[in-house]
Amino acid sequence: MQTDSSFTFVLFGGTGDLSMRKILPALFEAHRAGGMLADSGKIVAVARHVADRSEYLQWVNEHVKPHVSKNGVDEAAWASFLTRIEFAKIDLGNPDDFVLLRDAVKDLPGIRVFYLATGPSLFVPICRALASVGLNENARIVLEKPLGYDLKSSNAINDAVGEIFAEEQIYRIDHYLGKEPVQNLLALRFGNALFEPLWRREWVESIQITIAEELGVEARGDFYDNTGALRDMVQNHLLQLLSIVAMEPPHSMDSDSVRDEKLRVLRALKPISPLDIGKVAVRGQYHSGVIRGNAVPAYATEPGVKQNSTTETFVALKVEIENWRWAGVPFFLRTGKRLADRVAEIVVNFRPVPHSALGASALRAGANRLVIRLQPNETIRLYCLAKQPGEGMNLASVHLDLAFDQFFREGQMEAYQRLLLDVINGRLALFVRRDEQEAAWRWVEPILNEWKASNKPPKPYASGTWGPAAASAMLAQHGTCWLEEEN
């Protein structure tokens, strides 16, 4: 991915956790690879707790460097990367300080990208302050999640930002869309005649999408207790992955063609009646337990969590899509904290053969399945049945494995690296359009409202398990189970 696009990348929240762990390491990897970033491109970090550029570079060396290059740091590349970095000491609460930012970037080259790695409460004030000094013209703005607390607040932010930036200037980032296996899912479906004929209700029995974390809320108790798993993960990451899995083939891979098809999926989601929410939605909250041999506390005792909090840390849903391709196929979504393993994956369970001359094992659910693993290791596996060696016709599960690190020796591109390069080069396909976001909020809100109205506590589950038993019972009603062990 070569580029001649000159740029000035302005990073708000330049000393924040996201900048430290993801954004600056991703920009370094693009720089180190050579040719991905224009030589003239500059990074301007914005913060208020650092005195000047020298002190900021010291912070970068101390905090960012440990997060780059798994195989060690190329010191020459690191030194040249630091020459790209400028610094502006700005108090985001003082609009007058944005005159200083304007002066800092006025002579820097190329397209201006403003990345808001801040809390959502600062999105609108920053955008208005940028407009007050003319920095919104011919620029791009990147918004991190969460974008709002509900549909109303999301629309309020989008309305305010939309008065300052045109829709084609706004990049709402969802880093799961930048992951290599998600890109390969598109290639698998739309680049091969093998899978597309099977990708429909006649051949697919069910689909699971899981994003599981071993970590708890860590130091984010205040934020998480006002958010919960449904807002934090389902409304964005899980529904975006679902739309990628279920979308119709776009006529091309340009940004609006892809996003139009995703939108059609989100609008086809079957609304969940308040009377049915108890049957198709499970919410849980982790209690104390053991993860990898270490005792971990209950959510209720985490710093920042309100006493007797009913915030969910686990959600499992049964989702249906009301269109010709997917009518009657259940999609099971699951996410949670303090679960038994850290994994993100999509599991497509194909229907068993209609009649088996080879015994009952050929009819079992899940004998034929496609597993797209997003983390921790990125792979795609196709499972089928084969005869075991020896006497008789005994079947065993075998798989074809696409392990990206073995097939492609040059190494994979991290999600943030891909997405940041797309922003710099003006590619919108992997970013969430406003109408997609609104459709997702509309579908999620009845669940949020019913949970709030019922005031029922979440179902407890021990840390280090796979969540409440009710989540497994929901799948058992459909003759299937969660895929929870995959080597």
Tell me what the mean pLDDT of segment 289-304 comes to: 94
Cα–Cα distance for residue pair 169/423, rounded to 1 Å: 9
In tens, the pLDDT along 352-408 reads 888 777 766 666 666 889 999 988 888 888 998 888 888 777 787 888 887 766 777
Which CATH superfamily, name and number, covers 7-144?
Answer: NAD(P)-binding Rossmann-like Domain (3.40.50.720)
In this prediction, residue 410 carries a pLDDT of: 67
Active site residues per annotation: 237
Residue 31 assigned to a binding site: no
Residue 253: per-residue pLDDT: 87
What is the structure's pLDDT at 174?
93
Span 211-265, pLDDT tens digits: 999 999 988 889 899 999 999 999 999 999 999 999 999 998 888 999 999 999 9
- DSSP helix, strand, coil percent of the chain (3-state; round to 5): 40, 20, 40
Token output for 175: 């880093």
By CB atoms closer than 10 A (0-12, 13-18, 19+), residue 114 is buried
Q: Is the pLDDT of residue 2 over 70?
A: no
Ligand-binding annotation for 337, yes or no, is yes
The pLDDT of residue 487:
47
Q: List the single range of 66-75, 181-190, 285-294, 463-472 with lowest mean pLDDT.
A: 66-75
Q: What percent of the chain has pLDDT over 70?
A: 95
CA 177, CA 347: separation in Å to the nearest integer?
17
Cβ neighbors of 331 (< 8 A, separation 6 or more) are: 206, 207, 208, 209, 242, 245, 246, 318, 319, 320, 321
Query: According to the model, what pLDDT value does residue 298 have?
Result: 96
Whether residue 379 contacts residue 188, with contact meaning beta carbons closer than 8 Å, is answered with no
> Could you give phi then psi for residue 140, rounded to 5 degrees?
-125, 140
Delimit the domains of the chain by residue range: 7-144, 177-411+434-476
Mean pLDDT of 147-154: 91
Structural tokens at position 258? 């892809």
d(CA 254, CA 430): 10
Same fold: 7-144 with 177-411+434-476: no
Q: Report the pLDDT averaged over residues 17-38.
A: 93
Provide the pLDDT for residue 409: 63
The residue among 330, 319, 216, 221 whose CA lies nearest residue 276 is 319
Single-letter code of the amino acid located at 216: G
| 3 state SS of 51 | coil
Is the pLDDT at 131 greater than 60? The verdict is yes
Question: Is 174 among the annotated ligand-binding positions?
Answer: no
pLDDT tens sequence across 332-353: 999 999 999 999 999 999 998 8
pLDDT value of residue 358: 74
Domain 177-411+434-476 classification at class level: alpha beta
Confirm whether residue 232 is marked as ligand binding.
Answer: yes
CA distance 445 to 432: 18
Instruction: Decide if 54 contacts 60 (C-beta within 8 A).
Output: no
Q: Is 213 annotated as a binding residue?
A: yes
Residue 287 marked as a ligand binder: no
Going along 297-449, which residue ranges are E strands? 314-319, 331-336, 343-350, 369-375, 379-387, 395-403
For residue 11, is pLDDT > 50?
yes
**Mean pLDDT of the chain, nearest integer:** 91
